[in-house]
Every structure is written in structure tokens, then in C-alpha cells.
A and B are shown apart, each in its own frame.
Chain A
Amino acid sequence: MRSFIDRRPVWSLIIFCGVAFLLWMIFSVWPAWLIDLIGRKKVFLNAVFNGVTLGGLYFLVASGFTLIFGLMRNVNLAHGSLYLLGGYVGYWVASTTGFWLLAFPVAFIVVGAVGVFLQIFVFRRMEGDDLRQTLVTIGISIIMADLMLWAFGGDFYNINPPSWLGGPVETFFVTGVKRSSGDLIFMKYPIVRLVIFAAAVVIGVGMWLLLNRTQIGMLIRAGVDDRDMLAATGARIQLVFVGVFAFGAGLAGLAGVVGGTFQTIAPGEDIRFLLASLVVVIVGGMGSITGAAIGALIIGLAEQIGSVYFPTYAVVLTFLIMVVVLAFRPQGLMGRGG
């Protein structure tokens, strides 16, 4: 941190000013000229919040994707199908038992088991053959999509959160001042999105700790760096592979339940989330968890802020960010060179 400021004093100042201005925009009561310029504060604040929570969902999907790629060099294009499967399983569990929370562990375990199956019976047979693995994952995603269409139909599924998570909650962010009484107006925000975001942060921090502070994490990091050397030291690398694939797939399943709660589960969502996680890891850097978090945040914010301030071009914005990152930092923001 210190050395960065010493090395790049001008950039540091610009970043500092930008962050300070953003914080001011979030916490202050907006003056009239700013409202004239970009509209009500409520809209802006909601866009930022929604961007961050959407980023949380993208992070859950993309972190599994990037973890699997980092360790096994396997671009798993069936990752979106695992997300969709998790959503359907979650819907089924939540609607038959009535316990929304139960949907998360069940989806995690079921989809994780599918991941184990895929790793043991499919990918292990073509280890080291990256292109073939990638092509096989495309085939698997098409077959899974058709099987799910057959089993669940083309209907739109919503997973209902319990009633204590329904509706909005008043936050401590000020959006304006009442003209008549001078009281402050506070922002109302859906509780379920806040809870989901908090869960994404907890999972993210947990993963970081697991990777950086435990022995298993050490094994995985060593495998990412050089898996042949790790195997040569006697580590049971196949076990690590299966574990990581199961965990990554399970995360996708978990994300499916989250997605089904504040969006919908339907055919076609698999491709959308595969594309989203591809963009996120390309922006963040393939194989890096921190990169996935930063990429998810950027893409989520871009989508939401774009959707209110320039709706027509909101779709392009995401890809524009990807193009800029690829042009100036092809390995991704947090990716390693080479």
C-alpha cells in the first residue's frame, strides 16, 4: 500500500479523490444541482446497491468457475447448467418442505455430487487434454439443458423466500429531506437482497481463508502453480481435483438457489450465467478468487447503473469493459502475467 503511493503518487491521488467523491455521493444529502444533473438520489443509491448485490450473485457463480479453471485448466462450459440444476433442485426442496434455508445445503450437495460424477467419469479420462475437455463440456451442457427442459418444462420458476425476508427494510442511508417537515427520508431496500449479499461476502471471505490459511488451501494453491510438481511430492492430487470440482459445482448450485430467489429459473438462464461468469473471470483474471470478486462487482455495477442511466446501451457496457480490460491487461485485473 505504502509503496504503491510512493510509486504512483498521481494515480493514488486520483483514486483517493474518486473514492472520496463516491462516498460523499452515497452518504450526503444531494444538493439541488446534482439532482438536476443526474436525477434523484434514491435512483442512484438503488442502482449502486443493486449492482453490488447482483455482483454478489455473479461472484457465487464465477468463483466456482475460476477455481476449477485455476486448478485443472478445465474451462467448464457446463457451469451454467450446474447453476440451473441447482435452481431447480432448490425450488423443489423449498416448495415441498417449505424451508427456504434447506434448499441451500441440498442444492450444494446434489450439484456437488454431479460435479464429482463428472470429474471421475468424464474429465479424469481425458486429463491434460484441455481442448477435448472443453468440447465435452459443451456437449454436456446441451444434454443437461434438454434433460432439464424435459423434466421441468419451460415454465418460469420463482423460489419464495420465507415471509420474514419478504418486502423491504429501512436502511440508514439518507435519500432526501421531506419538504414539509424537514425530516430525513431513508432508503427502503429489499431485505432478501441484503441477506444474499451478506451470504456472498461470508462465502467469499471463507474461501479466501480456506485457500490462504489452511493446509488444503496450500495444496490447492500449489496445484494451481504446478500440478505435476505437486503430484511428484506425493500429494493425492486426484483427491484434490475431485474435491475442488465438487466444491466449485456446489457453489454453482448454491448460486442457482440464490438466483431463483431474486430472479427466475427457466431454460436459457444456463447460457446467460455461463456468459456472465466468463465475462467476470475474463475481467477479473482466470483462476483468481479475488479477481472473481472484483470482476463480479464491476460487471454487476455496470449492468445496474447502465440500466437506469443509459438503458439502450446497458447491454454493450459489459462487453465494453471486457474489451478495455483485454486491450490493456489481457491477463485480467488480478490475473498473473504470462
Chain B
Amino acid sequence: MRRYLLATVSLAAMMSATAAQADSIKVGVLATLEGTYTVLGEDGVRGLKTALGEAGNKAGGKDIEVIIQSTDASPDSAVRGARKLVEQDKVDFVIGPLSGSEGIALRDYAKTQPQTTIINGISGAQETTFVDPAPNFFRFNMDGAQWGAGLGEYVFNEKGWKTVATVAEDYSFAYTNFLGFAHGYCKSGGKIVERQWVPLGTKDFGSIIAALPDDVDAIYLGLGGGDAVNFLNQYQQAGGDANLIGGTIMVDGTVLSSKGEAKKALVGTPSSGPQADTWDDPNWQKFVKSYQDAFPPEKRFPSPSLLATGYYNATSAALQCLGKVNGDLSDGHEGFRGCLASLELNAPNGTIKLDGNRQAIGTNFVTEVVEQDDGTLANKMVAKIEGVTQTLGDDEGEFRKLGLPSRDILKCD
């Protein structure tokens, strides 16, 4: 009797599982919802939900079922999360991850799971799609170096800053982001006279600020999060008044919305990244409104961060392609992947298409920090560079010869 009951129950469970398989699509999501990057991961998920909300949670006539898995920005937590989603929950495909080293780990994991597809959230390491890419890993956001495109030319030509010193965090994203800046700056004829690499998580910059040379035109800052806020605070206290140039995460929402006066030191600072908060493009404005309408003001940033935009773009690409194949993934994702590879995504931050390594070619924005009427800070667009490739416009062989981003790459002193 007992055995019979057990058999019935398991049969029923199997039937309901197959039933769910037929009219819904399971999407696994990886985002950093614990640890230092919690706030960033939350905004990524908001971007994803915005895209799903716009599509009414449906694609290709099927319901979308989302399973969100938290990571802590470490590569092993990302792989653990992906294994759970792919091997245990049996999701159809994965959207994520958020941070650079997670992306590299998932590229390697993707190779071991050829039956599934991974669409990158917003992780920006160059290596992920540039070195030994996985055929089922797609990235609709540009990498850290592409986010630096155009900034070097802008500060050299428009601002007339001929020499800079740099202070940046000593890890791969900062190297990559800096490479994008240095690539254009050195080519224009600028000189980078001094580089200081500080450990990630440095909180007291007093001595580093004192060691900055005072005979340069500007200082490039490749810091992020709390380190950036600490630097600005102590820089103000030390009476610093040099021109500043910001890396992409130096001027992002987490720094611009920090509490206190430290961020005011950033007003007028040129920077670059994949979006400009106050861009008047109707497509961008529509996305901002959609994001603002989807969440109450106290549960979101004033306008979407680049993490929200990244997850939004990845999700809308997936939904569009699901629509195109009518939600049918039974061909081993062949049609779905073909669609992703050839998709021209009309994203809020400019048109995005993929190159042969399934890496985004997109638009980069040079911005300046401005104080808005209500006292908050935002990034205002001052220049826009379309069609930024992963090799920053160089011939691929030539770009590869530069080597992977590191402390001393691209010398021009």
C-alpha cells in the first residue's frame, strides 16, 4: 500500500513537472545579493524585473518562471550558484553573473554544460569573451576597457590636460577600465607620469593623497564604492583641488548617492561608461521611466545604474529571441543561440550587436558629473562614441600584442 502510494505521488510529481516544462520557460538568474556588492546585485535584479514586467512575464507564448540565485561576487560562489540552477533546478538558460571574476568562472563552467546557454548579466572582465570564449556564453554588455573608450581623447583634446597621475585599485577590473582610458590618452599624446595601485578595500588614503605629484594637470581615479567615497572625503579634508578624472565605477550611482558631502568633490569630473543618466534619447528616457514606475522610490536608485541596464539588456535580448523561436528550445538551443548571435538589440543605451566571440559592440558615453536642481548628482553626456569594439578600434592582432590588462600596460610617460 505504502509503496503504491509512493509510486503514485512520484508519478504525479513527474507529470506536473513535465506539464510545467511544456508551457513555461525556466530562467535562472545569478546576482550578488550578499556581501559587499549586495546593493549592486539588487539593482541588477531590478533591471531584470523591469524587462520582464514590460513583456508581461511572457515570451513566445509561454510564461517565464524566474529562479534567482544569490552569489557573493566570488568565482566559486558563482559556479556553485550556476550548478544549482542548471543541474538541480534544470533551468533552460541562465542570466548572470555580475562581477568580473565570476564571469570568467562561468565561461569555463559554460563549456562543461553545452546543453544550456548563459547570457552575461553585467560582468565586465575582458578575458571572459576575449580569451578562449565559450560557444554558449553571450555578452550583451561591453567590457571594462570598452567602458573607458573615448575618455582619454576627451580630456586631452577638450580639457587640454597633458599630464596625469593615477590612483587605482590593484585588481583586474581597475586595470581593464584604466586600459580603455590609457589607450586613447596615450594615442592622443598625453603622458601618464605616475601610477599608484592601492589594495582593494583601502580606507585611509591620507598618505597616498600626500604622495600625489602636484605638477600634473589631472589625477585619474580608478576606485569604486567605499574606497572612492573615502578617497574623496580625505581629499577634501587635505584641501586637494586638482582636476579629477573618474573611472567608470568612480562616478556610478553608489558613489553619487552616498550620504554626506564627500561626493561633491566630483562635480565637473569627466568620466566614461556605458550610459549617461541624463541622456535625452527617447529610448533611454522610456527605460528610466519604466524602471521608476516598476519600483517605489525608496526601493530603487533615482535612476537605473549600469547594473540595472546590463541585466535589463540581457533579459530583453533573451525575451526577444524566445519570441522569435516561439519559446521552442527543443532543438538544443540552436535557433535561440542563432538569434542571439545575430540580434541587433535596440537597447536604451544605444544599439548593441555581438561580434564573433559573442561579445557586445556598443555605444560608450563620455560624461561629466553635474549637480541637479534637487541637489543630487548625475552624469551628463558630453560625448558619445558608437560602435566600440572589444579591440577599441585596433586591429585584433595588434590589440592582442598589448597583452592582457595589468599594472604596467600601455606606458606613455
Contact = CB atoms under 8 A, between A and B. Distances in A.
A157 B207 contact: no
Nearest to A168: B239
B258 A304 contact: no
A272 interface: yes
B239 A188 contact: yes
Contact of B36 (A47, A50, A268): A268
Interface in B28-60: 36, 38-39
Interface stretch (B138-146, B228-236, B353-361, B387-395): B228-236
Contact of B206 (A39, A46, A159): A46
B259 interface: yes
Contacts of B233: 158, 262-264
A160 interface: yes
Contacts of B208: 307-308, 311
A95 B260 CA distance: 9
A68 interface: no
Contacts of A221: none
Nearest to B233: A158
Interface string A186-201: 0011101100000000
Contacts of B259: 91, 95, 155-158
B230 A193 contact: no
Contacts of A304: 204, 206-207
Contacts of A308: 207-208, 210-211
A266 interface: yes
A91 B259 CA distance: 9
A155 B203 CA distance: 15
A193 B206 contact: yes
Given A264-B230, A311-B197, A50 B207 contact: yes
A148 to B, nearest CB: 13
A102 interface: no
Interface string B239-276: 10000000000000011011111100000000000000
B260 A153 contact: no
A34 interface: no
Contacts of A155: 39, 254, 257-259
B307 to A, nearest CB: 13
B319 to A, nearest CB: 29
A42 interface: yes
A305 interface: yes
A158 B230 CA distance: 8
B237 A193 contact: yes
B229 A315 contact: no
A308 B238 CA distance: 16
Interface string A131-144: 00000000000000
Contacts of A312: 170, 197, 199
Nearest to A187: B210
A319 to B, nearest CB: 13
B207 A190 contact: no
Contacts of A188: 238-239
A158 B239 contact: no
Contacts of A95: 259
A166 interface: yes
A264 B226 contact: yes
Nearest to A158: B260
Interface in A198-252: none
A158 B211 contact: no
A157 B260 contact: yes
A314 B226 contact: no
A43 interface: yes
A190 B239 contact: yes
Contacts, number: 124
Contact of A262 (B201, B207, B234, B257): B234
Nearest to B260: A158
A54 B170 CA distance: 22
B381 to A, nearest CB: 25
A311 B261 CA distance: 28
A270 interface: no
Nearest to B209: A46
Given A262-B233, A263-B233, A153 B39 contact: yes
A338 interface: no
Nearest to B42: A154
Nearest to A265: B259
Given A155-B39, A156-B226, A311-B198, A168 B237 contact: yes
B196 interface: yes
Contacts of B209: 46
B237 A156 contact: no
Nearest to A165: B237
A190 B205 CA distance: 12
Interface in A8-53: 39, 42-43, 45-47, 49-51, 53
B238 to A, nearest CB: 5
A274 to B, nearest CB: 14
B202 interface: yes
B335 interface: no
Contacts of A43: 207, 210-211
A192 B237 contact: yes
B225 interface: yes
Contacts of B238: 168, 188-190
A337 interface: no
A166 B262 CA distance: 11
B299 to A, nearest CB: 10
Q: Can you list the 3 inter-chain pairs with the closest CB atoms, starting with the nearest?
A: A158-B260, A46-B210, A50-B206
Interface of A: 39, 42-43, 45-47, 49-51, 53-54, 91, 95, 149, 153-160, 166-168, 188-190, 192-193, 262-264, 266-268, 272, 303-305, 307-308, 311-312, 314-315
